[in-house]
Structures are given as structure tokens and as C-alpha cells.
Amino acid sequence: MSISVKNISKHFGTFTALDNVSLEVPNGSLLALLGPSGSGKTTLLRIIAGLEVPDSGSVICQDEDVTQRNARDRNVGFVFQHYALFRHMSVFENIAFGMRVRKQPNSLIQSRVTELLQLVRLDGLERRYPSQLSGGQRQRVALARALAIQPKVLLLDEPFGALDAKVRQELRSWLRRLHHEINMTSVFVTHDQEEAFEVADEVVVMNHGRVEQAGPPDTVFEHPANPFVMDFLGNVNVFHGRVQNGRAVLGSVEVDYPEYPHQESRPATFYVRPHELEIEHAPNGAASLKARVERINPAGSVAKVFLMASDFGLGLNVEISPERYLELALKTGDTVYVSPRKVRVFVPEYVI
């Protein structure tokens, strides 16, 4: 079922949680609402679920306006951040709850719960109580419970937030596979950009109750719409330079910037991701910045090098491949030359 959110606003007292937000969730997609805390992403999810009422705007599920319908009639599966499992019920009864309140026959409950227990790989644990389960197991019970009512939409609030790193990684790829298996329109909230990009088909970046950018992960990552998105997608090097006559200038580095053909020189911000910087021992002709190696972290799939460009008083994060790292044989204190392969330039709005 597709979901479309139209011009939703929501205030809590004087705080604006959502400011005229519109959003399309195509049928069968897995969409991530990504943003820092307080950006309104959880509020938006709860409005879609019917757990909060928007001040204005509407929620449309498959051509049907459900804004005025309460949560229990929306047939939406909701997985809560801290799972909200019924502590006095066994795993079996937790999963069966939605079917029990709908007065479905016992035989059907029995078979569907058994089926779901297999799906979430918890068979054999149906008699346990939530307090006897690990975090990852609780998460999967919460998911099975939400799926038991055969929802048309699955909503997950920070589904992996409360888990440790290893379990989180496992559950991510599992959720991705599960989504392909059941192919249900799903929306999840996260503040972790890596998680959003790894799991989702569609990413919506939110900030201060507004949508900053929406699109497929690669588009959002490669073409950030604005400085906020660029910044939020993490770990980016920021430089301050100028633009003039269709060129963007940062020290000795100069790139084309046809979006600003004007004569008047204006300040601009340059964003370069760590893996888009190249390190050389000597200037190789290309425009480059001189920097000193401060610290090296070779552990992991990439070698992380921290540089200090003293001309700009600026710290730089650079990521290079392990092969390149061995080739360069970098040591702390080395003087190197850094050149960007790709630069994104944002010119602040004209202020008159």
C-alpha cells in the first residue's frame, strides 16, 4: 500500500515538530526517515500510524484519507523503539495479542504465531517472557507482533537504536531480506545515516521539522541538496573559499562552478568527503593543499589519516585504501599534498 503525506504540521506547545511536511512512500518500498534528534522524524512516523494527530494536513493510504481514523482502525504494524512488549505475557501471547483482540479463532492464531516465530527465528522461545530475552530477540518479537495483524504498512521507530553494534549489523541485513520476502511498504526512523543507506530504498533527510531531501540513497549521497544534508551524511571536510566568474577558489585549488557566473566575488562553502581526497608526497601538478600528517588509524577497511593544513588552520579527514596507504608509507609528521577529486560548493543565499 502506498502512503502519501500531505502538508502535515504539528506543534507541541511552542515547539514546531513538523512544518508543512509532504512525503510519498511508493508501494512496496522500504523508506528511511533520517535526521538528528528533534528533527520530527518520530512524530511523522507516529502520525502515519495514527498515534498522534496532526494540526493540519492529511495522511492518504492508497487513495484513502485516513487522517481522522484512529490507530486501531488503520491496520498498521508499529514497532516501538523500546519494543513495548507486554511484560506479563509470554512471547507467544505477545505475538498473538493483535489476533486475540480481533477475536480470531484459536486454530488460526496457533498456526500464524508458529509461522511468525519461524520467520523471526524464535521457534522454541514461545513460552519465554520478555524479561528472559536478549535485546535482539525482543526486537524480533516486537516485529513478529506487528506482523501478526497482517498490516498493510510496517512502521519501525529506531528499530536498531537500542542494540549493540554486532546485533545491529545482523538485524539490518536480516530486515532487508525480510522486506524482500514479504514485500510490505515499510518506513523506519533512524538517526544513523549508515543504517539508512544500507537498509533503505528511499531516504528522506529531515531537519527542524522539514524535509531537506528525499530520494534513493545514491542520489542523496552523491548529490546532496544543501549543506545540511552534506554535513549530516557525516564525516565531511568543510572549507571556506570564494566564488567568482563561474570559478570556485580555495587557496591554490580552483574548480569550475558555472552556477555562479557573476563578477562579484562571494564567500562559499566547500565540502569534500574523506574518500574524495588524494594524498601525494610531492605536488604533482594538480592544484593541492599542503598539510602535515597528525595521526593515522590504519585499522578497518580503509586507512584513516588526519591531516593539518596549516595555511588554513584546518584539520582534514582523509580515507585511503590500504593498498594506497602501504604504497605511500605515511608517518606522523610527514608533509604531504592533498588534492580533492570531487568538491561540492554551496553558496549561501543572497542576502539583500
Partner 1 sequence: MASVQLMHAQPVAAPHRAGVAVARRDPLVVRIGLTAAAILIITVLIVIPVVNVFYQALASGVGVYWNNLVGDRDTLHSILLTLIVAPVAVVLNLIFGIAAAWAIARFRFPGRSILTALIDLPFSVSPVVAGLMLVLLFGMHGYFGPFLSEHGIRIIFATPGLILATSFVTLPFVARELIPVMEAIGSEEETAAISLGANAWQMFWRVTVPNIKWGLLYGIILCNARAMGEFGAVYVVSGHIPGRTLTMPLRVEKLFQEYNNAGSFALASVLTLLALVTLFVKVLLERKTRRELAEAALPAAPERGGV
Residue 84 within binding range of partner 1, rule CB under 8 A: yes
Rg (CA), the chain: 25
CB of 168 to partner 1, least distance (A): 8
- CA distance linking residue 177 with residue 90, whole number of Å: 27
Residue 127 within binding range of partner 1, rule CB under 8 A: no
Cell numbers 546485533: residue: 167
Q: Are the CB atoms for 352 and 311 separated by under 8 Å?
A: no
CB of 86 to partner 1, least distance (A): 6
Position among 26, 53, 71, 226 found at the interface with partner 1 (CB under 8 A): 71
Q: Which is nearer to partner 1, 98 or 274 (CB)?
A: 98
Q: Show Cβ contacts of residue 149 under 8 Å, excluding neighbours closer than 6 positions.
A: 75, 77, 98, 99, 102
- CA distance linking residue 279 with residue 305, whole number of Å: 10
- 146-165: contacts with partner 1 (CB under 8 A): 146, 149, 161-165
Instruction: Report DSSP letters for 9-77, one per residue.
Output: EEEETTEEEEEEEEEEE-TT-EEEEE--TTSSHHHHHHHHHTSS--SEEEEEETTEE-TTS-GGGS-EE
Residue 102 within binding range of partner 1, rule CB under 8 A: yes
- 164-183: contacts with partner 1 (CB under 8 A): 164-166, 168
The torsion of the CA quartet 336, 224, 8, 175, rounded to 10 degrees, works out to -80
Q: Which is nearer to partner 1, 100 or 295 (CB)?
A: 100
- CA distance linking residue 108 with residue 113, whole number of Å: 8
Q: Which is nearer to partner 1, 104 or 317 (CB)?
A: 104
Position among 19, 28, 57, 97 found at the interface with partner 1 (CB under 8 A): 97
Q: Which is nearer to partner 1, 192 or 334 (CB)?
A: 192
Residue 299 within binding range of partner 1, rule CB under 8 A: no
Residue 49 within binding range of partner 1, rule CB under 8 A: yes
Q: Which is nearer to partner 1, 87 or 331 (CB)?
A: 87
What values do phi and psi take at 130, rounded to 5? Answer: -50, -35
Position among 3, 18, 25, 76 found at the interface with partner 1 (CB under 8 A): 76
Q: Are the CB atoms for 223 and 199 separated by under 8 Å?
A: no
SS3 90: coil
Residue 82 within binding range of partner 1, rule CB under 8 A: yes
Residue 78 within binding range of partner 1, rule CB under 8 A: yes
Q: Which is nearer to partner 1, 138 or 172 (CB)?
A: 138
Q: Which of these, 290, 280, 305, 278, lies nearest to 252 by C-alpha position?
A: 290
Q: Which is nearer to partner 1, 77 or 217 (CB)?
A: 77
| Chain residues in the site for partner 1 (CB under 8 A) | 49-51, 70-72, 75-78, 80, 82-89, 97-98, 100-102, 130-131, 134-135, 138, 145-146, 149, 161-166, 168
